[in-house]
Amino acid sequence: MRTVESRALQARNEVGPHYKWLVLSNTTIGVLLASMNATSLIIALPVIFNGIGLNPLDPANFPYLLWIMMGYMLVTAVLVVTLGRIGDIFGRVRMYNLGFAVFTVGALLLSIVWSKGSTGALELVIMRMVQGVGGAMLMANSAAIITDAFPSEQLGLALGTNMVAAIFGSFFGILAGGLLSQVGWRWVFLVNVPIGIFGTVWAYLKLREIGVHIRSHVDWLGNIAFAGGLAMLLVGVTYGIKPYGKSLVGWSDPFVYTMIIAGLVVLVAFVFIEMHVPDPMFRLSLFRNRAFAAGNIAQFLASIGRGGMQFMLIIWFQGIWLPQHGYDYTSTPLWSGIYVLPLMIGMVAAGPIAGKLSDRYGARPFATAGMLITAVTYLLMMAVPPNFSYPPFALLIFANGVGMGLFVSPNTASIMNSVPARERGAASGMRVTFGNSGMPLSMGLFFTLMVFGLNATVPGTMYKGLVAHSVPAAVAAQLSHLPPLGYLFAAFLGYNPLQQLLGPKLLASLPAHQAQILTGRSFFPSLISDPFKHGLVLILAFAAIMSVIAAIASLLRGSKFVHAEAGSTLDHTPVRAREVAIGEPGEELS
């Protein structure tokens, strides 16, 4: 009786030697689109809020801001495991193709949002979630489809290229969002439509089901428990950013800790369910494999360290550094994307090379070194002044990108090589879940650290700065004690909030040149730059710690390991990988 791996080898032979490259090119476009959409919207938020007539500085609109930013990421994080498991059962290519179509429809609906104000914002949130469902289908099944199509000795290069495209997309989305926002906010969504239509038609015409699929029942109870538990946990953490009562953050809000506790309880129930159902959504026994467990833990920790830094870099450039260097707020989204290009170049340069080398030498040396390099760059950023010189900073973020590229490609290949063919969809979904869950968790943690850092310095700095420019002491004291998160989001959205906060009547009573300074492009960024850097030091220290722990987890994964089914005789499995598969790295954790 043939094993599932030998059937997979026969299927690869039937489609021909060039099919794998077709798979790689199509799935790379898919994950590039999906990841770009997680960040392109963020940098274009000022233009989008202006386009639908919504004041981003109104506290009542904060939930819309939060959900437009985070809704897509929350949906993809929650659904990827479920959709990956369904792909294992009913066909990964089928689910992937459907994802391309759903994603494209979502992009089209977003580009024709018809309402204004809060109604328009709600429509954007809902349509972003629809698009997130399509994005989850793409990300859950793309790595599994690549693993089906490529032999193990080329899998590192293939998955490396694919994963670098995913992370590159998250940073390129910043540039794309900034560029498209100059044309009009609807183009941020509309540009995805022709690419999505092309990718959908191409996938339906060319991709084939060559993976191994084991018919089984859908574990609906496990799926609902996992999706519900993770959703509650991530929503609770996300709302921890929002001020509550007199507190600067929302961690004392009963809604926040109720959601977090309930989410954790439901996730514990999910583990119990998976241990007792005949056809579980995800086989928890895979975590007994050291390569799989260590790879996912390292990815989760790396994602926490990396995720919030994207936003902090955007705030640093868009709200502080660029206005201080003469850039108008209307152009800062575009230039923010341009100035982070060295980071993208570093990832693109290192990722495929590291993936190819990991095919020969294993993931451990490259992934571990990548995390250590990333940690060092975070520590070096702590010494960078708020109003820095760009060339050395560009070199620093380039090195950060190299570290990320060295880690992501080999780590992904290591995870996917460690699982049996029948579990690839669910395993890929879990891998994406660990990565995507790190983003909202990182946001909640980083913004909390930033708020605490800002609160230590903003009141005094704000009071002195306003009084020095003729603002009455009572007004300056009141403004200096507003929640610092509002000032942080003003910087993030490219606004000088002082014109609105001081009001036209008070500004008219001030000397003209003082009013002009207060509402100009450089006063507010200069005012908050030192407090921002104070909070950023806390964040960078935390990100460095996460990266070091991720490096330790990566180091513990063992040497190269390629899963081989019992009794399999695979011509494409290298001798070294075959030997390791029955040796130390494949050792199950007791």
Distance, in Å, from the CA atom of 270 to the CA atom of 529, rounded to the nearest integer, reads 45
* Same domain as 571, residue 503: no
Q: What is the pLDDT of residue 158?
A: 79
Within a domain: 207? yes
Q: How far apart are CA 308 and CA 445, in angstroms?
A: 8
The last residue of one of the domains, among 501, 528, 555, is: 528
Residue 28 lies in a domain: yes
| DSSP symbol at 450 | H
Quick one: pLDDT at residue 417? 78
Same domain, residue pair 371 and 425: yes
CA–CA separation, 335 vs 317, rounded Å? 8
532 neighbors 387 (Cβ within 8 angstroms): no
Orientation of helix 62-90 relative to helix 424-467, angle to 10°: 170
* In a shared domain, residues 549 and 441: yes
Residue 168: inside a domain, yes or no? yes
Mean pLDDT, the chain, whole residue set: 79
Is residue 234 a part of any domain in this protein? no
Structural contact between residues 135 and 103, judged by C-beta atoms closer than 8 angstroms: yes
Residues with Cβ < 8 Å from 41, sequence gap 6 or more? Answer: 48, 68, 69, 72, 128, 173, 177, 188
Partners of 244 in the β-ladder: 247
Do 340 and 484 lie in a common domain?
no
Task: State how many domains the chain has.
Answer: 2
Half-sphere exposure of 487 (CA within 13 A, CB side): 27
Please, what's the b/e burial string for 1-34 (b: 16 or more CB within 10 A of its CB; e: otherwise)? eebbbbebbebbeebeeebbebbbebbbbbbbbb
What was the pLDDT predicted at 574?
37
Clarify whether residues 492 and 426 are in a common domain: no
> What proportion of the chain, given as a percentage, has pLDDT over 90?
10
Contact 195, 29 (CB under 8 A): yes
248 token code pair: 């600067």
CA nearest to 88, candidates 422, 431, 565, 432 = 422
Domain end point (choices 494, 509, 528): 528
The radius of gyration computed from the CA coordinates of the chain, to the nearest angstrom, equals 24
Using CA atoms, how far apart are residues 378 and 385, in angstroms rounded to an integer? 14
Domain shared by 388 and 429, yes or no = yes
- Spell out the residues 6+ positions from residue 577 whose beta carbon is closer than 8 angstroms to its own: 152, 153, 417, 560, 561, 562
Residue 580 belongs to a domain? yes
Same domain, 536 and 488: no
Residues in the chain, pLDDT under 70:
1-16, 38-39, 42-43, 56-59, 152, 156, 160, 167, 170-171, 174, 178, 211-216, 248, 308, 421, 424-426, 492-495, 558-590
Produce one character per residue of 171-190: b if its CB has 16 or more CB atoms within 10 Å, e if not: bbbbbbbbbbbeeebbbbbb
Q: Is the domain of 93 the same as that of 73?
A: yes
Q: Which is it for the CA torsion 297, 299, 305, 308, positive or negative?
A: negative
For 134-144, write each residue's pLDDT tens digit: 888 887 788 77
**pLDDT digit string, tens, across residues 482-506:** 777 777 777 766 667 787 788 888 8
Q: Is residue 540 part of a domain?
A: yes
Cα separation, 462 vs 486, in Å, equals 13
Handedness of CA 15, 17, 23, 29 (dihedral sign): negative
- Tell whether 185 and 290 lie within a shared domain: yes
Q: pTM of the entire structure? A: 0.76
> What's residue 5's pLDDT?
53
Q: What is the CATH number of the domain that holds 196?
A: 1.20.1250.20
Q: In this structure, are 543 and 495 located in the same domain?
A: no
- For position 102, what pLDDT does the model report? 92
Exposure string (b/e) for 421-437, b if CB count within 10 Å is 16 or more?
bbbbbbbbbbbbbbbbb
pLDDT at position 258? 92
For residue 585, give every residue at least 6 positions away whose Cβ sits within 8 Å of its Cβ, in sequence order, or none. 290, 291, 557, 558, 559, 560, 561
Residues 414 and 533 both lie in one domain? yes
In a domain, 118, yes or no: yes
Domain that holds residue 188: 4-218+281-454+529-586
- Which tokens hold the place of 17? 């030697």
Tally of CA atoms within 13 A in the half-sphere of 11 that contains its CB: 22
Residues 27 and 164 placed together within one structural domain of the fold: yes
Q: For position 376, what pLDDT does the model report?
A: 96
In this structure, is residue 106 part of a structural domain?
yes
Distance CA 111, CA 105 (A): 10
Q: Which one of 502, 528, 554 terminates a domain?
A: 528
Positive/negative CA dihedral, 47, 52, 54, 55: positive
Task: Give the span between the Cα atoms of 14 and 20, in whole angstroms.
Answer: 12
Q: What angle do CA 554, 558, 563 make, to 5 degrees?
A: 110
Note every long-range contact of 467-474, with CB atoms under 8 Å and residues 24 or more positions apart, other chains counting.
469/510, 469/514, 469/517, 469/518, 469/523, 470/510, 470/511, 470/514, 471/502, 471/506, 471/510, 471/518, 472/506
* CA–CA dist 395, 305 (Å, integer): 19
